[in-house]
Structure 1
Amino acid sequence: MITIVVAMGLDNEIGADNQLLWHLPKDLKHFKEMTTDHPIIMGRKTYESIGKALPDRTNIVVSRKKDWFEEGILIVGSVKEAVKFAKKIDEQVFIIGGGNIYEQTLDLTDKLEVTLVQTNLEADTFFPKIDPKIWNKIEEVCHEKDEKNEFDFCFQTYERKVKLAEK
């Protein structure tokens, strides 16, 4: 099972200047609970924005930079290679960004775990449009903003309606 995890605004915005657009501790806790003990795949820029390997997960970073190295992560040259390696570790694989990696993996994905943040912010990176012909929303749990979470947001789960023949 390949699952994309993404937090996005109402216009599918996910980031600006290689940074997230919001700070939502409830979303970060939800992300940690989902991904702990599973392999996570991300692009190099996403890894650099996080600044370190995420603990208790196999961190697989896709990078075309041949001379780039970081301690505690596996660096691969393609999404295909990342998915192949991750599936050897665990049946559940999480794709955590960024925009380019989401675009390359959307067709490989079985499930979307979306945090829909109820705002529109300036961005330079966006998540692809979720096509209702392909994706079925099976769950939604909404949360109101509070003293720690600056925006209202909803956790949404989508499953692929039609399985693709081969991944």
Structure 2
Amino acid sequence: MLSILVASNYEGVIGVNNELPWKISKDLKYFKKLTMNNTIFMGRKTFESIGRVLPKRDHIVITRNQDYKAPRGVKVIHSYEELKPLLSEDKEVFVVGGGEIFNDFIDKVDRVYITFVDVDVKGDTFFPIEKLDNFKEVKREKDIDEKSGIKLEFTVYDKK
């Protein structure tokens, strides 16, 4: 199963200068809970912005650069066709960014986990919120991050 996992404000901002525009402990814990012992799939820029291999997760990085060398334990692919054989019904693969990858893959995923972050921030990287029209909301949980005081909505959408 292929799913997107993203945090966005209500305007679709997900990044600025190759970084998250917020540091929200509760959302990072949610990311960890969902992705632990699963596979995370991302573009090269997102992988490099994370800066390391995350423990107890399989990593797949997609890049146009045929000569890209990733650290040990990271599978590098160059197309969706190379990803398809790695997908299975019994294990979830999470598409975790960035903006270009979300745009390219939103029509290919079965589910979208989106944490809406109630902040007004300018950004340069966006999630295509308008494409959620092709999905049905199946879960919404409101919360507040204790450390930052920021309101969050953890939502899940399944493809219609």
2:16–2:124 Cα contact (<8 Å) kept: yes
1:79–1:101 Cα contact (<8 Å) kept: no
Does 2:153 align with 1:151? no
Over the matched positions of the two proteins, sequence identity in percent amounts to: 36
- Give the distance between the partners of 2:84 and 2:25, measured in 1 at CA: 32
- Give the distance between the partners of 1:17 and 1:158, measured in 2 at CA: 28
Question: Residue 77 and residue 104 in structure 1: after superposition, are their counterparts in 2 closer, same or farther (change >3 A)?
Answer: same
1:39–1:89 Cα contact (<8 Å) kept: no
> Unpaired runs of 5+ in structure 2?
none
2:3–2:95 Cα contact (<8 Å) kept: yes
Structure 2 match to 1:108: 108
Question: Residue 61 and residue 89 in structure 1: after superposition, are their counterparts in 2 closer, same or farther (change >3 A)?
Answer: farther
Give the match's secondary structure for 1:107: coil
Corresponding letter in the other structure for 1:79 = Y
Bigger strand share: 2
Structure 2 match to 1:165: none
Structure 1 match to 2:126: 126
CA apart distance, 1:80:
3.1
Structure 1 match to 2:92: 92
CA apart distance, 1:129:
2.1
CA apart distance, 1:90:
5.5
Cα RMSD after superposing both structures? 1.7
Matched residue count: 159
2:15–2:124 Cα contact (<8 Å) kept: yes
Question: Residue 19 and residue 85 in structure 1: after superposition, are their counterparts in 2 closer, same or farther (change >3 A)?
Answer: farther
Structure 1 match to 2:4: 4
Structure 2 match to 1:73: 74
Q: TM-score, normalised by structure 1?
A: 0.88
CA apart distance, 1:88:
5.5
- Give the distance between the partners of 1:26 and 1:18, measured in 2 at CA: 21
> Unpaired runs of 5+ in structure 1?
162-167
Corresponding letter in the other structure for 1:12 = G
- Give the distance between the partners of 1:132 and 1:95, measured in 2 at CA: 15
1:90-134 CA-to-partner distances (Å, cap 9, x unmatched) read 531110000111111111111110000001211000000244542
- Give the distance between the partners of 1:20 and 1:132, measured in 2 at CA: 21
- Give the distance between the partners of 1:23 and 1:91, measured in 2 at CA: 28
- Give the distance between the partners of 1:28 and 1:133, measured in 2 at CA: 26
CA apart distance, 1:89:
9.7
1:62-94 CA-to-partner distances (Å, cap 9, x unmatched) read 01122221212111112331x324316953111
